[in-house]
Structure 1
């Protein structure tokens, strides 16, 4: 299928691609752990839950690492090919360099299709599972960890304030506890000179208090009647149920999905339903505004003047001269005032309807844009696998250097520009400033044009400067 030179060039890609892919996966994993380590520490999470959370988040790292590794490996492979004068020999043999790029481009197309499939079907499920796990972890409260002069609300229904902690003897000094009211207890403030924590098992915690007082607020039969009861004690015991501090799993299918946890087909179905809602809103608004309130005026056939249908007075009070021609057709000032009030009320109702209609439509249009952004993203980022071959191959030939440091430096510049454009394009498209297509594909189009010019520069005698030279 491929000749010897093409197979040799493909072999030069395999090692750098695998090396860069796993290095990038490691770096992305370290970044993930640094960002979320505070959410995992102190939760008492099972080891396998942490492993599952990490594995489910590896999915989005694969989609990012594949195009990045493709760019670095392409720069290294073609840089070495040119550095070792193999490109010069191929050109001397009359072989166009485009024939060397085509096999790599074909393999990158396979990677693109595989990554796009992964991004559309596997990544949403992994994101949904990771999102569900994050919610479960967030709901798992931290362990009973008191700090000096800091309010602690880790146990539901209680707030603790400790002025001094004796770590050696587990003694709490100058302790205040705020007890919230529930069915079987009243609102109370508990003060104690000292206290000791004793944990009989993982589900129960006992706090022994010494030399203190309890101030209970006992509600009366009538609202506003409250009795305050103060009790002194030498020793008092409080028991807390810690079962709600333990981590518990919920079924991910019971949680709602967002754009990043749905496949493209599912998002298209949601977009279609939202568009139908937009049409219904428009039809309802049209029906409401078309139902205009009839003005109770009739035309006098003899004079051609508008008169109020219920008006029976025939006094000779002159009508006001108005800048509105319609009001000048009405022959009575009371009728003119009534008409103005009626028109003002109608305009107020119409303005409220317009504002409500516009806010509903704008909200739905932005939701549609957000879904379209996610749909385009599932293809645009994997497409960079082919795009980076088109850019990396001619740059590697022109640099004539297959050093990984040079390739990493060039890749850093290209990838930084690429992902900044993707992130900013997504934000602008979500806000409706630009279309979702341009937000996700704009940088791809720019890089495609640049890559095409670079390929023409390497494979033909075409030069960009020729476009600016005169034919004279």
Structure 2
């Protein structure tokens, strides 16, 4: 590789790494804010948080990678044009394609890596992300009492704390609603407010035994207001009782309070979590299963009627072989006619229900097959987008001749929005069946590829069509 090629590569790699890092951080922060409520108060270790962020990062690569390549290519060629290095290279007899050749070879390697990532790493990362988020969401929130707010994340209890000490170890003005009596005697309560126990205390401390999953409240100076069930108040004139105490202890059993890992084998892999090989295998099995169901349905209806039921195993009865029997119904009594009509209606209704059920099953299987085909095309779209957006950005950079984060950022973001809207819109229409899977998944490529080739051709020929200085001078001259 020549020294010039190394210079071009170095000019590209720096902005690419910088842009990719910045976009990944921004997108990861967006994901973190989406799940901030599920993470707060869980007592998660920092390793779990870092693992979650790592899986989030893998999930955002299909968006950050094309945008970073587009922006870096505009900045690289724009900087070369701004410093007149591009003019010097062309004056030495080098075409734009030859200047871009080392970057194009690098993009081919990136496209191969993008396919491997989309096919192998991205499904695995999304699968682990879904399992990890489910485990975190199933973990009950930690004991974080806020002043004046009822805390109801402990099943059967609703706890309010008026204030806390600075270290959080002592609680003041405690009010506890205990609904465990309602859970133990559901048939004795007329509404959820019955069979509750109200505990009020001036102060208290918390002791938590994580090994035994028990929370113990040591309360001082208060009372317990206890409502009684119907059986308890038969021989009493008072429907409730009140106890005053100087010291009391309340033990609460915490179920599934700590974060625990679940077994990944219990999760079913959906179509977006499969590799290309698994998708092809699933498509084959789906087609085979659909053919079996269609044959079963056909045989069921064929054997339901005398006209189509076969003599023996294979031969069918032709309509002409059946003797006339129209007079059979006329000789029946009114009661037998009614029974025969009722039986015929029941059989037809049964056949209709079976037909509707089969149509519904076929529709579900067709939708599942459509999603599999969409995901199969999706394995290749990222790799192609890497190459297409690189040529688009490099061609525009050679024309604009502006480096840095000013104009290139605005142009790159605008072009990426067009690419993203076309890609997402095509995917949604392909999934909904409005467009074919091929046309929907390759919609952005079909629209942007001719534009990219045209811009590259004009940039390679040094056309004035994208030279903004040319239009400025022309406008001043006309004016």
Instruction: Give the TM-score, by structure 1 length.
Output: 0.79
Question: In the alignment, what sits opposite 1:206?
Answer: 216
Rounded Cα–Cα distance in structure 1 between residues aligned with 2:143 and 2:404 = 54
On the 8 A contact 1:67/1:382 being kept in 2, the answer is no
| Alignment equivalent of 2:158, drawn from 157, 160, 173 | 160
Please show how residues 272-311 of structure 1 align to structure 2 within 5 Å.
Answer: 272-294=284-306, 306-308=326-328, 311=331
Please show how residues 152-231 of structure 1 align to structure 2 within 5 Å.
Answer: 152-156=151-155, 158-160=156-158, 162=160, 165-168=162-165, 170-173=171-174, 175-179=176-180, 180-182=182-184, 188-194=195-201, 196-203=203-210, 204-207=214-217, 208=219, 210-217=222-229, 230-231=240-241
Deviation at 1:11, TM superposition (A): 2.6
Rounded Cα–Cα distance in structure 2 between residues aligned with 1:355 and 1:245 = 46
Could you say what secondary structure the match of 2:285 adopts? Answer: helix
More displaced, 65-74 or 247-256? 247-256
With over 3 angstroms needed to count, the CA separation of the structure-2 counterparts of 1:335 and 1:244, relative to structure 1, is closer
Could you say what secondary structure the match of 1:246 adopts? Answer: coil
Deviation at 1:292, TM superposition (A): 3.4
Deviations 1:2-61 (A, max 9, x none): x44444322321211121121122222222222222221111111211111112222223
Question: In the alignment, what sits opposite 2:353?
Answer: 352
On the 8 A contact 1:20/1:69 being kept in 2, the answer is yes
Could you say what secondary structure the match of 1:289 adopts? Answer: helix
Question: In the alignment, what sits opposite 1:31?
Answer: 30
More displaced, 348-357 or 113-122? 348-357
Question: In the alignment, what sits opposite 1:440?
Answer: 441
More displaced, 266-275 or 43-52? 266-275
Unaligned runs of 5+ in 2: 190-194, 233-237, 308-318, 466-479
Question: In the alignment, what sits opposite 1:362?
Answer: 363
Rounded Cα–Cα distance in structure 1 between residues aligned with 2:231 and 2:93 = 98
Unaligned runs of 5+ in 1: 221-227, 314-332, 465-472
Could you say what secondary structure the match of 1:214 adopts? Answer: strand
On the 8 A contact 1:43/1:141 being kept in 2, the answer is yes
On the 8 A contact 2:41/2:144 being kept in 1, the answer is no
Could you say what secondary structure the match of 2:7 adopts? Answer: helix
The alignment yields a C-alpha RMSD, in angstroms, of: 3.5
Rounded Cα–Cα distance in structure 2 between residues aligned with 1:270 and 1:243 = 39
On the 8 A contact 2:147/2:164 being kept in 1, the answer is no
Please show how residues 47-58 of structure 1 align to structure 2 within 5 Å.
Answer: 47-58=46-57
Between the two proteins, the alignment pairs up a number of residues equal to 429
Rounded Cα–Cα distance in structure 2 between residues aligned with 1:384 and 1:283 = 42
Deviation at 1:113, TM superposition (A): 0.2
Deviation at 1:451, TM superposition (A): 0.8
On the 8 A contact 1:198/1:205 being kept in 2, the answer is no
With over 3 angstroms needed to count, the CA separation of the structure-2 counterparts of 1:51 and 1:403, relative to structure 1, is closer
Could you say what secondary structure the match of 1:307 adopts? Answer: coil
| Alignment equivalent of 2:282, drawn from 244, 263, 270 | 270
